[in-house]
Amino acid sequence: MTGSITTAGDPLNVRRAPTTSSTVVGTVNNGTEVSIDCQTQGTRVSGRLGTTSLWDYVPSLNGYVSDAYVRTGSDGQVAPSCGVGTGSAQCSSGSCAGEGLFRSSDATFVVWDRAADGKSAVVQYWLAGGVGPLVVRHSGGSGGKTEKAISVDSGDWVYYKVCVRDYSGGTGFQSCSNGITDYAA
C-alpha cells in the first residue's frame, strides 16, 4: 500500500517506535509518496488528516509515521498489522527510555538505551514451546544499541516486551511495554 505524506509544509518526523516519545530516526518531506509495510496502534496524534492512534511502518524510512499525516484514500487500516512477520517495535512506558525492535527478516532484536540513568534497556522475550523469558539488554544511555540474532525457525512466534531495569539495585523490570507477538520470516 502507498500513501502521500500530508503536512502543513514542514517535514514529518519518522520515529523508531509508534509513539511520539520514541527517538526521531529521520524526517520525510510533505508530498513524498511512501510504501507502507504494516500498521499498528500507538500514541494518539492529531494531524493534518485528523486524529488517530494508527501508525504506519515505512521500510524505506526505517521507522514509523503517524497515519494522521499519510493520505491513503481511507480513514482506516489499509495494510497488514505489524507484528505478523513484518517486524515490529515498542518502547518502555513513560519516557520511552528503552526501545526495542524485532527484525523478522533475520530474527534479530535491536535494543536502544536512550537515558544515561544507570538503568539498562531490556527486551524480555519468549519463544514458541514455552521457552523464556530470555533477555537482550543494552546499557549506557544516549542512543547506544545492541543487536542480537535469536535462534527461531521461520514462521515461529516471538512474544516480547521492552522494559528498563536497574541491574545494580536489583529492582526488577520497570516501565514495561504491553508486549507484542511477531513471527520470524
What would the CATH number be for the domain defined by 2-71? 2.30.30.40
* Global model pTM greater than 0.75: no
**124 and 176 Cβ atoms separated by less than 8 Å:** yes
Q: Grid coordinates representing 62? A: 526505517
> What is the domain partition of the chain in residue ranges?
2-71, 88-183
Per-residue confidence (pLDDT) for residue 55, from 0 to 100: 93
What fold, for 88-183?
A: Immunoglobulin-like (2.60.40)
CA gap 65, 106 in Å, rounded? 23
* Average pLDDT of adjacent 10-residue blocks, the chain of 185 residues: 95 90 90 90 92 91 93 87 62 71 88 80 86 86 82 86 77 79 80
Per-residue confidence (pLDDT) for residue 90, from 0 to 100: 64
